[in-house]
Structure 1
């Protein structure tokens, strides 16, 4: 291994590669895809930091260092395309992530993950508790049915 990059660069990228292999093998797991996508996005940030910190001045660039930096930059340029393809794979497997910040249309927003839908600020499903004319949700305990003996 070249001494140009630290071991954290290799460990980060190889661990994301291992999670990617797990995501491909486990066809029914949405968690594996999410972990792979999160790892890819995280390594984009760490690769930028590694390349900017480690890049040597021009007079210290040997052919091996130039090739190593070129491949690291090429890998960094391909990662957004990989993130898009992994996100498409996530959608094909049934994953859906909808996030709406607009307060006007927040009654229509739902968050879904792994087939479980949770309502987020949907005021139509709430039962009002301050109105007296609303029918009670629970039966009146004073009119309990007689137990048959």
Structure 2
């Protein structure tokens, strides 16, 4: 956040990075929330893009590069270089908390949905956890009404 002390960046740079920091604190505190981790990861990825834009547009010329601006620009670039590693570790935290987000685009079937989540497309869905209800050889749940039960009294 040392890059935010540079007054050559607009306020959007500081607002973007500090809001992602706040969401990151929320994601660490809320250990059972997958939404917080997803929001933090999305925010980190968005700030990578916006940091590149901010640094490329607002980098000062050499004649205007005083020590404070040089330091804050260096810290902004250093923060940008560390963000892909942060994204990797946040994604690992997401996976440890039970989240699985594999984005798969099914281009072969046009009648089904084009987006299949959890890495399973229409043809390869895992149906091992489901029971079929139309089995003929299954034992009946209720006793046969043709057989009379003997009453104990």
Structure 1 length as normaliser, TM-score? 0.71
Which structure features the higher share of helix residues?
1
**Alpha-carbon offset, residue 29 of structure 1:** 0.3
1:60 matched to which residue of 2? 64
Q: 2:104 touches 2:121 (CA, 8 Å); kept in 1?
A: no
**Alpha-carbon offset, residue 4 of structure 1:** 1.5
Q: 2:106 touches 2:116 (CA, 8 Å); kept in 1?
A: no
Alignment of 1:20-59 (within 5 A): 20-59=24-63
SS in 1 for 2:31: coil
Larger Rg: 2
1:91 matched to which residue of 2? 95
Runs of 5+ consecutive residues of structure 2 not aligned to the other structure: 127-133, 135-153
1:71 matched to which residue of 2? 75
Equivalent residue pairs, number: 119
2:12 matched to which residue of 1? 8
**Alpha-carbon offset, residue 101 of structure 1:** 3.2
Assess, with a 3 A threshold, how the Cα gap between structure 1 residues 82 and 124 changes in structure 2: closer, same or farther.
Answer: closer
Runs of 4 or more off by more than 6 Å in structure 1? none
SS in 1 for 2:60: coil
